[in-house]
């Protein structure tokens, strides 16, 4: 069973991909949980600006793969999905640990679709305006997220219905021998 690293721009549908994988018995390890736990430990307000800013600062101080290194100890199964990769440097940490059994999956959606989803989902750290969305896009692209999405082993499109997206995920998992 491969270790699956999932990536994609905010609002693309990674959570639904994870939900389907979890239903298939995959352990889910979220890099974002490690980031949010650190923000909570520091007493930071739970917003994109404060949590994302802290994550960015940690990358500058400790290197671009800091969150991958801090996440690795939480991977406890060979049947695992690691969520939230933002750069090739982070991917390399997991490639060095899991070698050829690792698959990088990119979830893709258009910027307009993702913006509408982020506004609608109402998570506390989500953006509320197009300006915030554009700022977050620039920050995450600067981390290397766009290049990482382009280098994925597999891309799963998420522009249609939820049912169609779930079917695409099921098809991907079936191709792995699920």
CATH code of 96's domain: 3.40.50.300
- Chain segment 38-67, per-residue pLDDT in tens: 999 999 998 878 898 899 899 999 999 999
In a domain, 175, yes or no: no
In a domain, 178, yes or no: no
Q: Say what percent of the chain tops pLDDT 70.
A: 97
Q: How far apart are CA 15 and CA 33, in angstroms?
A: 13
In a domain, 176, yes or no: no
How many structural domains does the chain have? 1
In a domain, 177, yes or no: no
Average of per-residue pLDDT values in the chain: 91
In a domain, 120, yes or no: yes
- Chain segment 70-79, per-residue pLDDT in tens: 999 999 888 9
How confident is the model at residue 143, as a pLDDT? 82
3-class DSSP assignment, residue 30: strand
Q: How far is the CA of 159 from the CAs of 76, 132, 134, 164, 165, in angstroms?
A: 32, 22, 20, 9, 8
Q: How far apart are CA 7 and CA 15, in angstroms?
A: 11
3-class DSSP assignment, residue 40: helix
In a domain, 53, yes or no: yes
Domain hosting residue 152, numbered range: 3-170
């Amino acid at each position: 069973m491969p270790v699956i690293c999932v990536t994609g721009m905010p609002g693309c549908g990674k959570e639904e991909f994870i939900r389907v994988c979890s239903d298939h018995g995959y352990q889910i390890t979220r890099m974002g949980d490690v980031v949010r736990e650190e923000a909570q430990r520091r007493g930071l307000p739970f917003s994109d600006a404060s949590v994302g800013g802290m994550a960015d600062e940690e990358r500058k101080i400790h290197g671009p793969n800091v969150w991958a290194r801090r996440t690795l100890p939480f991977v406890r199964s060979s049947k695992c999905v690691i969520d939230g990769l933002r750069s090739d440097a982070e991917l390399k940490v997991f490639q060095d640990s899991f070698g050829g059994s690792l698959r990088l999956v990119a979830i893709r959606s258009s910027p307009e679709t993702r913006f509408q989803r982020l506004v609608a989902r109402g998570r506390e750290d989500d953006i509320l305006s197009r300006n915030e969305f554009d700022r977050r896009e620039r920050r995450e692209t600067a981390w290397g997220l766009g290049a990482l999405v382009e280098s994925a082993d597999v891309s799963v499109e998420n522009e249609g219905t939820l049912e169609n997206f779930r079917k695409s995920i099921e098809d991907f998992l079936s191709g792995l021998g699920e």
